[in-house]
Structure 1
Amino acid sequence: MERIEHRACFGGWQDVYRHRSAALDCNMQFAVYLPPQAASRVVPVLYWLSGLTCTEQNFITKAGAQRYAAEHGVALVVPDTSPRGDDVADVDSYDLGKGAGFYLNATQAPWSQHYRMYDYVAQELPALIEARFPVTDARAISGHSMGGHGALSVVLKNPGRYRSVSAFSPIVAPSHVPWGEKAFSAYLGDHRETWKAYDATELVKAASERLPLLIDQGEADEFLHTQLRPDLFKAAADAADYPITLRMQPGYDHSYYFVASFIGEHVAHHAKALL
């Protein structure tokens, strides 16, 4: 593992590392923010999953989360959104291939060789973080858009591993919207029944635990009615008696201006469960 960035930030350190991922069979980068409290004790971890076209850089440079992580004494861990490298399958499309891993384990060629972001996020990366950094095994997870889909599906598939979850503008029903249908068809094949394993609206129906769950959605989001459909997840959660807080925010779109406006409240949401 090689540290390639090291910057002082709100009394702590914002770092970026490169390492060889066994799950993805390629070199990967991830960001770690260690708050000032980590200099003297171990701290809990909030994982952040970013959206389409992003790397680890978008969140750490645009969201402004480090200020709030420092206030609460929570580490931030931000992986890339897909496998990378010259030998990794790709297409000329922003919503499939590199930058669009969808946090699942692909089963179809040519994607199945490297696109195992679910294993990376749910297993390999936390094991690495907890072995190499001054953190506890108290975990929370959040994300934006495709990353919101990832956060919700990872939590619902792994009861007992996380203490809280939140999302901004998540793709909550990928089996029923164009982004998800395109990615799932390529990565998982055309048998739609297999898609349910990574669809939060399907997974919540059989959830075995009830975690604090906060979703913020901008009412002016250009993808609200075509790609995101929070109404579908809310209906499924209500039917399953899974309590969620869904906040529709007037005037906000799909951008990081939206994320930056409410990230402090999300970090506080997780800190309450982690500390």
Structure 2
Amino acid sequence: MKTISIAKSHGGFQGVYSHASDTCKCEMTFAVFVPPQAKEGPCPVLWYLSGLTCTHANVMEKGEYRRLAAELGLIVICPDTSPRGADIPDEKDNWQFGSGAGFYLDATQEPYSANYRMYSYVTEELPALVADEFPADMEKQAIFGHSMGGHGALTIALKHPDRFRSCSAFAPIVQPMTADWSKGAFEKYLGPDQDAWRAYDACALVEDGHRFSEFLIDQGTADGFLDNGLRPWLFEEACGKAGIPLTLNMREGYDHSYFFISSFMEDHLRWHADRLTA
């Protein structure tokens, strides 16, 4: 692991790191905030998964999480959203696919299957690295994310209910199998058989019997992607039928940007901290 940068913030440290990933077969970059409480011992871990076109840097620079994470004693980990590099297959004119758009799945179709394995990267390789390199209490983990990253957080929590104590999302893509900006990517990554897509669709996972303790979702009513891409009411309906507690906050006038995310970041951090320290 290489240290790209490190800076003191609110008594803790915000670092950016890279490593050679066996899973994605390229150099991967990620950010980690370590709170001051880590001087005394391992701290709970909160994973943040970013959305389309983003890197680790978007939430690190605009998410406004460090002050409260330092107060609450949370390690916040921000992975990248896809493999990157000159040798990685890409569609440079398509922001909904390829670089910056890994969708937190393991691709099965060539030429993408060799590198686009973000599900395994986020659930296996990166946690193992974090456990080795940082003062992380891996018995206390939570996960959240935005948009494509909200999709990733929901699906990963549903498939790993014993690993994560809590899961929340900002404006998640809850049914990517049918959403305008994800179904094309799913076909390229996973092939035409939509049964294979269900493993990476939050609504489908709930319909197929996967369960989680509870969810928190915040969604802006002025989000331009709300009706065709996000549609949180579909997940609300699925959770209702399955008996999974879901708090869905429709935030009047907020859009899809980090102005929205940063406005409710503290709510999510406190919600996760309550469950991580219970």
In 2, the alpha carbon distance for the partners of 1:207 and 1:37 equals: 38
Provide Cα deviations, 1:17-75, integer angstroms capped at 9, x if missing partner. 01011111110000000011012211010000000000000000001001110110000
Match of 1:74 in 2: 74
Match of 1:40 in 2: 40
Deviation at 1:186, TM superposition (A): 0.6
SS at match of 1:264: helix
> Quick one: structure 1 residues 139 and 7, their matched pair in 2 at CA, closer, same or farther if it must change by over 3 Å?
same
In 1, the alpha carbon distance for the partners of 2:206 and 2:271 equals: 20
How does 1:131-170 map onto structure 2 within 5 Å? Answer: 131-137=132-138, 138-170=140-172
Q: Which 4+ runs in 1 deviate beyond 6 A?
A: none
In 1, the alpha carbon distance for the partners of 2:5 and 2:262 equals: 22
How does 1:1-275 map onto structure 2 within 5 Å? Answer: 1-91=1-91, 92-137=93-138, 138-275=140-277
Q: Which structure is higher in helix share? A: 1
Root-mean-square deviation (Å) = 0.9
User: Is the CA contact 2:96–2:182 (under 8 Å) kept in the aligned structure 1?
Assistant: no
SS at match of 1:89: coil
Deviation at 1:178, TM superposition (A): 1.2
In 1, the alpha carbon distance for the partners of 2:209 and 2:142 equals: 17
Deviation at 1:210, TM superposition (A): 3.3
SS at match of 1:15: strand
Deviation at 1:207, TM superposition (A): 4.5
Q: Report how many residues are paired.
A: 275
Q: In the alignment, residue 188 of structure 2 is paired with which amino acid?
A: A
User: Is the CA contact 1:163–1:212 (under 8 Å) kept in the aligned structure 2?
Assistant: no
Deviation at 1:212, TM superposition (A): 3.2
TM-score w.r.t. length of structure 1: 0.98
User: Is the CA contact 1:156–1:207 (under 8 Å) kept in the aligned structure 2?
Assistant: no
In 2, the alpha carbon distance for the partners of 1:86 and 1:184 equals: 22
User: Is the CA contact 2:161–2:212 (under 8 Å) kept in the aligned structure 1?
Assistant: no
Deviation at 1:105, TM superposition (A): 0.1
Amino-acid identity (%) = 51
In 2, the alpha carbon distance for the partners of 1:235 and 1:213 equals: 13
Q: In the alignment, residue 131 of structure 2 is paired with which amino acid?
A: E
In 2, the alpha carbon distance for the partners of 1:274 and 1:206 equals: 27
Q: In the alignment, residue 206 of structure 2 is paired with which amino acid?
A: V
User: Is the CA contact 2:158–2:212 (under 8 Å) kept in the aligned structure 1?
Assistant: no
Provide Cα deviations, 1:68-126, integer angstroms capped at 9, x if missing partner. 10110000000000001111010021110000000000000111010000000111111
User: Is the CA contact 1:173–1:201 (under 8 Å) kept in the aligned structure 2?
Assistant: yes
User: Is the CA contact 1:174–1:180 (under 8 Å) kept in the aligned structure 2?
Assistant: yes
SS at match of 2:234: helix
Q: In the alignment, residue 79 of structure 2 is paired with which amino acid?
A: P
Deviation at 1:213, TM superposition (A): 1.2
Deviation at 1:15, TM superposition (A): 0.1
User: Is the CA contact 2:161–2:213 (under 8 Å) kept in the aligned structure 1?
Assistant: no
Provide Cα deviations, 1:196-238, integer angstroms capped at 9, x if missing partner. 0100001122455432310000000000001001111111110
User: Is the CA contact 1:13–1:33 (under 8 Å) kept in the aligned structure 2?
Assistant: yes
> Quick one: structure 1 residues 25 and 109, their matched pair in 2 at CA, closer, same or farther if it must change by over 3 Å?
same
User: Is the CA contact 1:31–1:79 (under 8 Å) kept in the aligned structure 2?
Assistant: yes
TM-score w.r.t. length of structure 2: 0.97
